[in-house]
Chains A and B, each alone.
Chain A
Amino acid sequence: MTRLAVARKASREAYKTLFGARAGAMRAMSAEAAPNPDTVPVTVNGQEVHVPKGVTVLYACEQAGVDVPRFCYHHKLSIAGNCRMCLVEVEKSPKPVASCAMPVMPGMNIKTTTDLVKKAREGVMEFLLINHPLDCPICDQGGECELQDQSYIFGSDRSRFTEYKRAVEDKELGPLVKTVMTRCIHCTRCVRFSTEIAGVQDMGITGRGNQAEVGTYISKLLASELSGNVIDLCPVGALTSKPFAFTARSWELEGTPSIDVTDGLGSNIRVDTRGNEVMRIVPRANEEVNEEWISDKARFSYDALKRQRLDRPMVRGSDGKLQETSWEFALDYVAEKLKATEPDAIRAVAGKLCDAESMISLKDMMNKLGASHTTPEGMANVSADVRSSYLFNSNLVGVEDADYVLLIGTNPRTEAPVLNVRLRRAVIAGGATVTSVGPNADLSYPSTHLGDTTATLEEITSGKHAVCEAIKAANNPMVIVGSELLRRADSKILLKKIHAMCDELGVVKGDWNGFNVLHDAGGTVGALDIGFVPGTSASNDVPAKLVYSLGAEEFDAPAGAFIVYQGHHGAQGASKADVILPGAAYTEKTGTYVNTEGRAQVAVASMGPVGQAKEDWRILRALSEFAGVPLPYNTHEQVHRRLAEVAPHFAKLNEVEATLWMNGATYAHEKARKADASIPFKSSVENFFMTDVISKTSATMAKCTEARNEMNA
Chain B
Amino acid sequence: MSKAAFTGLKAVQELRFHLCQTSKGSEGVRNFLMSSYKTLKAASPSTPVLIRESSGAEGKLYARYDMGVEKCVKLEGLDAKGVEKCLQDLVSSVPK
Contacts and interface: CB of A to CB of B under 8 A. Distances in A.
Interface in A628-645: 629, 645
Contact of A658 (B21, B30, B62): B21
A535 B67 contact: no
Given A647-B50, A669-B42, 4 more contacts: A367-B64, A529-B52, A647-B18, A648-B53
A531 B54 contact: no
Interface string A522-551: 000000010101111111000000000000
A367 B67 contact: yes
A647 B51 CA distance: 9
13 contacts: A2-B34, A4-B22, A367-B13, A383-B48, A385-B41, A387-B51, A531-B16, A536-B47, A539-B46, A651-B54, A657-B53, A658-B55, A665-B34
B15 to A, nearest CB: 9
A535 B46 CA distance: 7
Interface string B53-96: 11101000010101110000000000000000000000000000
A384 interface: yes
Contacts of A370: 66-68
Measured as residues with beta carbon below 8 angstroms from the partner, the interface class of chain A is 35 or more
Given A2-B30, A367-B67, A367-B68, A649 B45 contact: no
A663 interface: yes
Interface of A: 1-2, 4, 364, 367-370, 372, 383-387, 529, 531, 533-539, 629, 645-649, 651-652, 657-660, 662-663, 665-666, 668-669
Interface of A is mostly: loop
A423 B55 CA distance: 28
A661 to B, nearest CB: 10
Given A4-B22, A660-B30, A385 B51 contact: yes
B21 A531 contact: no
B94 to A, nearest CB: 12
A621 to B, nearest CB: 15
Contacts of B55: 652, 657-658
A387 B51 CA distance: 7
Contacts, number: 112
B38 A665 contact: yes
User: Most chain-A CB neighbours within 10 Å: which of B10, B12, B13, B44?
Assistant: B13
B46 A538 contact: yes
A372 B65 CA distance: 10
A371 to B, nearest CB: 10
Nearest to A1: B34
Nearest to B36: A665
User: Which residue, B41, B44, B62, has most C-beta atoms of chain A within 10 A?
Assistant: B41
B46 A364 contact: no
